[in-house]
């Protein structure tokens, strides 16, 4: 079943991917990635899972640069979900530290490359130190006009929608919003990714083909692309392959051709 899906996607892309040429007028505006498969990548090499996460962070650096070069405007990556706390403490601490060192190492490059960085998710459970560096990085890059990079940390799609509903309910109870004013646009404006909500292309490496509580509202009309490659093996060419597949699709948004 999975092989059939990958084969279909491959057929979509084979014609164009030989030349790796993209239509510059049809680059997906917002690309979302579930950075999966770090653990398996490490296991296959007899390495600890932490080595997979470290390699995953290196891949992220390359893919941020590649997305900007290709002309993607918004890139949203899943770094840590609300469910990932169930992992052993040692792994959770490793990933949290990795985010800190990633920022330390790449801050100047991101800034120089005009990246506008946001962290999305509930930060209240993160260490004070991490909350401080996230805030500082966001403030320092707030004026940047290049790629918008959303890094999802302690993020869950259901939690995001629930928090939006709570905030809207508070405003309604205070008489600031009338029930009739609660439209899709208004709900969208309460999401972490606002105003750039709609995802055009959602990519998941690592062979699983599920959404894992990621961008549930935002992915309503996203095109999905899956690959058995693990995230550390993902390259600029893989991203081009995914976008080539995207460009071969007909998006009807529920309408007719
Ligand atoms: C999923 O792979 C990956 C994660 C839960 C962590 C993702 C973190 C990074 C890519 C690096 C750190 C992030 C930043 C922003 C620097 P998995 O561990 O579930 O892989 P598996 O399914 O093979 O076990």
**Beta-bridge partner residues of 30:** 74
Per-residue pLDDT tens digits for 26-79: 999 999 999 999 999 999 999 999 999 999 999 999 999 999 999 999 999 999
pLDDT of 7 above 90: no
What are the residues whose beta carbons fall under 8 Å from the beta carbon of 4, sequence distance 6 or more? none
Among the atoms of ligand 1, which is closest to the Cα of residue 84? 5
pTM tops 0.75: yes
Among the atoms of ligand 1, which is closest to the Cα of residue 59? 10
CA of 185 to the centre of ligand 1 (A): 32
pLDDT of residue 257: 78
Quick check: 234 and 205 in contact, CB under 8 A? yes
Q: Is the dihedral of CA 184, 185, 186, 189 positive or negative?
A: positive
pLDDT of residue 17: 44
What are the residues whose beta carbons fall under 8 Å from the beta carbon of 252, sequence distance 6 or more? none
For residue 195, cis peptide bond before it (omega within 30 degrees of 0): yes
Per-residue pLDDT tens digits for 241-251: 999 999 999 99
Q: Residue 144: CA atoms inside 13 Å, Cβ hemisphere, count?
A: 25
Per-residue pLDDT tens digits for 134-159: 999 999 999 999 999 999 999 999 99
Per-residue pLDDT tens digits for 84-114: 999 999 999 999 999 999 999 998 899 999 9
Query: What whole-number percentage of the chain has pLDDT above 70?
Result: 92
- Which of 34, 53, 214 to mutate to test ligand 1, by most ligand atoms within 8 A of the CB atom? 53
Quick check: 28 and 245 in contact, CB under 8 A? no
R_g of the chain computed on alpha carbons: 19
Residue 75 Cβ contacting ligand 1 at under 6 Å? no
Residue 39 Cβ contacting ligand 1 at under 6 Å? yes
For the question of residue 36 being annotated catalytic, the response is yes
> Which residue minimizes the CA distance to atom 2 of ligand 1?
36
Among the atoms of ligand 1, which is closest to the Cα of residue 57? 11
CA of 106 to the centre of ligand 1 (A): 18
Per-residue pLDDT tens digits for 113-139: 999 999 999 999 999 999 999 999 999
Quick check: 106 and 61 in contact, CB under 8 A? yes
The residues spanned by each domain of the chain are 28-71+88-221
pLDDT of residue 198: 98
The domain over range 28-71+88-221 is classified in CATH as 3.40.1180.10: yes
- What stretches of the chain show up as alpha helix (H) in DSSP? 2-17, 38-44, 49-70, 89-112, 128-141, 157-173, 184-189, 236-247
CA-based nearest residue to 41, from 212, 229, 203: 229
CA of 149 to the centre of ligand 1 (A): 17
**Beta-bridge partner residues of 224:** 202
Confidence of residue 19 (pLDDT cuts 50, 70, 90): very low
Distance (Å, whole) CA 254 – CA 166: 29
Residue showing tokens 């999401």: 191
pLDDT of 3 above 70: no
Quick check: 53 and 38 in contact, CB under 8 A? yes
> Which residue minimizes the CA distance to atom 14 of ligand 1?
99
For the question of residue 84 being annotated catalytic, the response is yes
């Amino acid at each position: 079943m999975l092989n059939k899906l990958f084969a279909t996607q491959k057929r979509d892309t084979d014609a164009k991917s030989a030349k790796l040429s993209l239509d510059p007028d049809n680059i997906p505006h917002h690309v979302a990635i579930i950075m999966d498969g770090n653990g398996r990548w490490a296991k296959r090499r007899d390495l600890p899972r932490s080595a997979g996460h470290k390699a995953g962070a290196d891949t992220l650096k390359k893919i941020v640069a590649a997305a900007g070069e290709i002309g993607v405007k918004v890139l949203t990556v899943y770094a840590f979900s609300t469910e990932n706390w169930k992992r052993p403490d040692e792994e959770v601490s490793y990933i949290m530290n990795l985010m800190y060192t990633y920022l330390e190492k790449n801050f100047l490059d991101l800034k120089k490359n005009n990246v506008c960085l946001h962290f999305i998710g509930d930060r209240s459970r993160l260490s004070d130190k991490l909350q401080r560096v996230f805030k500082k990085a966001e403030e320092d890059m707030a004026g940047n006009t290049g790629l918008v990079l959303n890094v999802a940390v302690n993020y869950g799609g259901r939690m995001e929608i629930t928090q939006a509903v709570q905030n809207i309910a508070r405003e309604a109870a205070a008489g600031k919003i009338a029930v009739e004013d609660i439209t899709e646009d208004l709900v969208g404006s309460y999401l972490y990714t606002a105003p750039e909500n709609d995802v055009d292309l959602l990519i998941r490496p690592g062979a699983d083909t599920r959404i894992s509580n990621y961008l549930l509202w935002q992915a309503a009309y996203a095109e999905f692309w899956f690959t058995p490659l693990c995230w550390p093996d993902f390259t600029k060419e893989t991203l081009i392959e995914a976008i080539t597949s995207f460009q071969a699709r007909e998006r009807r948004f529920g309408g007719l051709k």
